[in-house]
A = this chain, B = another copy of it.
Amino acid sequence: VALPAGVLTQEVNRVLEDPAIEIVVELVGGTTVAKEFILRALRAGKAVVTANKALLAKFGGELFAAAEKGGADLYYEASVGGGIPIIKALREGLAANRFHAIIGILNGTCNYILTRMEQEGAPFAEVLKAAQAAGYAEANPALDVDGIDTAHKATILASLAFGEWFRLEQMHVEGIREVALQDIQYAATLGYRIKLLAIIREAGGQVQLRVHPALIPARSLLGTVDGVFNAVLVNGEPVGTTLYYGRGAGRDATASAVVADILDVGRNLAGGSRRRIPAFRHHRAFQDVLPASEIRSRYYLRFQVQDRPGVLALIAGVFGQHSISIASVTQKEAAAPSVPIVILTHEAREADMQAALAELRGFEEVTEKPVLLRIEELP
C-alpha cells in the first residue's frame, strides 16, 4: 500500500483533532495515554477500535459511557483471543443464548510454558527462561504467568455474557508459577492435562469468576490445545456447547481482528447505523458473584508424607470430618523416608478443602505444604 505523503504522523493531535478522521485505532497499549486518546476520540464522536484488554478491564465503564455520550462506536474484538472472533460470537452469533459457562485458555504464554513443561519434562523456571529467549514471554512475565492477563480477558467475556461490567477484584486469580512438573506428570498418568483456565460459570443466579490452573481431560478439545494457541468453550442455552480456537496473540492474529472491527465500523458509518451494536449493554443476568470459598469442585491433591503406617488413614479421616470424599489414591512404593500421595476427590466446597489442608499441615506426618489443584468438569 502506497500512502500519500503526510498521512503518517507521530502527532496524535493531528488525528484526534481532524474532523475528517472518523475511525481511530488504538494499539498503544497500557492504561495511561491509551485511555486519554480513546476518551478524546469518543468524545469527538469518532469510532474507536482497540485491542487493549487491560484498559477495558480496568476502565470499561468509563469508556462505554463516553462512547454512548459521543454517539460513537467502540469495538474491541482483538482484546480477547487474538484472531478468534469470540467477541462477535458472544454478542452476535450467540445472541439468542443465555450463557451458563465460558471456559477459556486465554494466555498463549502460559499455555506455551505448560505445554513445553509436559513435552520436555522441564521445570517451570527453565521453560520460562527458554520462552523469554524465544520471545514467547516478556522480560517481566508477571502479567502473563500470574494470571493477570487472563483475568483481564475473562473480565471482558464475563461482562458480555452476564451484562454487568465486572471488576478485576471480583476475580479469584492464581497463576502458573507454582505448577510443578511432577504434578503435570501425575496428571498425565491419570488422563488429565493442566491448563491455566479462565472459568466463568453461572448457576442459580450466582456467577463464578476465577482464573487458575486446573486439570481437564487430556482427550477433551480444550485438553488438546497446545502451545501459544487459545481456545474458548462457550456453553449456552439453547446452543449447548460450542468452542472457538485460534492464535491468541501476535501481530497477524491481532491484525485480523482489528481489520474486521474496522470493516464493521465502516459499514456502520456507511450505512448510517452507528452504534448498531452498543459497546456494552447492561442486562444483569445474574444475582451475585459467588465467593471463591463457596465454589464446589473436584480436587487433585499431592501430599508429601512420612512413609509409615496410618498416614493415609490420617488424611482420609481429616477429609471425612470436612465432608470431603476421596475418589482415588495413587501411592507408589518408594525407598525414601518421605513419599508422595496423590489424591483425587469427589466434589467438595473450597472452604472445606482449605480447612482440611490447614489442619493436615499441623501434623508432622505431612512433611511439605500440600499441592492443591482443581479438576474442572467441562460442559
Counting CB contacts under 8 A, is A185 at the interface?
A: no
A89 surroundings in chain B (CB, below 8 A): 85, 88-89, 93
Question: Using Cβ atoms and an 8 Å threshold, which residues of chain B touch A276?
Answer: 267, 271, 273
Chain B residues within an 8 Å CB radius of A96: 255-256, 258-260, 263
Contacts of A92 in B (CB 8 A): 85, 88, 92, 260, 263-264
Across the interface, do A239 and B243 meet the contact criterion of CB distance under 8 Å?
no
In whole angstroms, what is the CA distance A260 to B83 when docked? 22
Number of copies: 2
Q: Does A173 contact B (CB under 8 A)?
A: no
A95 contacts chain B at the CB level, 8 A cutoff: yes
Q: A95-B263, A221-B225 are in contact. Are A256 and B239 (CB under 8 A)?
A: yes
Name which residue of chain B comes closest to A264, CB basis: B92
A231 shortest CB reach to chain B, Å: 8
- Surface stretch bound by B, among A133-141, A246-254, A295-303: A246-254
**Which residues from B are CB-within-8-Å of A277?**
267
The reply to whether the CB of A245 lies closer than 8 angstroms to some CB of chain B is: yes
Is A94 part of the contact surface with B, judged by Cβ < 8 Å?
yes
Q: Contacts A221-B221, A252-B240, A272-B273 given: A260-B93 contact, CB under 8 Å?
A: yes
Residue from the set A239, A243, A252, A276 with the largest chain B CB neighbour count within 10 Å: A239
Known: A256-B94, A260-B93, A260-B96. A83 touches B224 (CB 8 A): no
Is there contact, CB below 8 Å, between A253 and B240? yes
Report the minimal beta-carbon distance from A240 to chain B, rounded to whole angstroms.
5
Nearest residue (CB) in B for A88 is: B93
Residue from A95, A220, A242 having most chain B Cβ neighbours under 10 A: A242
B260 and A245 form a contact (CB under 8 A) = no
Bound: A245/B220 CA distance, A: 12
Complex: how many Å from CA A94 to CA B255? 10
The contact sample of 29 A-B pairs, CB cut-off 8 A, is A77-B93, A85-B88, A85-B89, A85-B92, A85-B93, A88-B93, A89-B89, A92-B264, A94-B256, A95-B259, A95-B260, A96-B255, A96-B258, A97-B256, A221-B221, A224-B224, A237-B252, A238-B256, A239-B253, A239-B256, A242-B246, A244-B244, A244-B245, A245-B245, A267-B273, A271-B271, A271-B272, A271-B276, A272-B273
**Nearest 8 pairs of A and B residues by beta carbon:** A85-B93, A271-B273, A96-B259, A242-B246, A238-B252, A83-B239, A239-B256, A243-B245
